[in-house]
Structure 1
């Protein structure tokens, strides 16, 4: 007697981390495994959709460290010529570790989201598939700047004016290399060594006019007060204060 064993394809995608966040410019990586749960060797195609049009690359994580592109890792290719990248031929019960990698574009809005849907499909039966959904939330800095002067209103020549510039990060991401540059107003003269900076008005620290790494300086060429680039976390503030005399 003879009998024929029916081929029953099966695909399983599995991941533990389904959501991440990052600043514009950050690289986001999602790790998942693709497993042939059928009863015959199969080539499992990998396709994806991205709601914001991110370009995702798919790597085989050869050493299982979760970092793409090292120690034998390689990009998925189309091994069977059907026009889709795939996990290669997997025997019954075999798995392969995959990394989906993309970079959050510069200028991405704070709290915007990308939804990545990854689908593994059997080459033996295209109706057999499994999918994973990953959500990436952008944590971007959003800066607002407020400038005040004291005393306010019309003032006579010789009056010393104190300017205060406050930059606040109202976003959920960290701003890097934040610089405040403020021109000295026309018909005024900068008061030497009047620069102060700090995270609030209550902790202002005096700075020299020189470019000496103390956090701010007076640029005589452009007649501007400039703070040194620094990081500014979510809800953080950077305060610059200086004085001028009305000519």
Structure 2
């Protein structure tokens, strides 16, 4: 595989995700010139003049704190980088059948439009409200349902791969773009996974470093150990 083509495509995909995180922040009225102003009135939360449920208060407080500490640009880049890594890693585990539940999160194993997790979540050991997810799907709120499932899967992976899947913070969750739409980052994940799975890790560290994905080397090491343990335990 052409490593230069891969590198260029990955950089493009990351920029695409950066734009989506930026747009997500704008939904809350946050950009380079406008921060986050929050107030409560009659049991209703208002963020930059827009109403939200009061239960989201801690998440917005977390976001406000991070904006103050890191600044707008650094925060947006950090969140985009974090979600980019997670999408790549999940796709890598997906194609290698390493996901604990063996359920596709980003794609369908049967050629459907919807990822398998949307139809198989009831069989999975995820920290979710199954009734709530079912209600969202029945109401046609597929994006909201998928967002909750995707975040739950990332948090579940934190238990086995803490170096890559850190526990999701409130502000990171708030700025997660619409992950159900077919963003170009998923295409990049397929390219990168094909390259990694081809055994091209030798000499590949430079490309991964250029992509700002050093943790994938640890993921590959985890895969190797996983395979070795599987071979040792098999009859």
TM over 0.5: no
* TM-score, normalised via structure 1 length: 0.21
Higher strand share: 1
Q: Whose helix fraction is larger, Structure 1's or Structure 2's?
A: 2
The TM-score with structure 2 as length reference comes to 0.22
Q: Which has the higher contact order (CA 8 A, sep 6+)?
A: 2
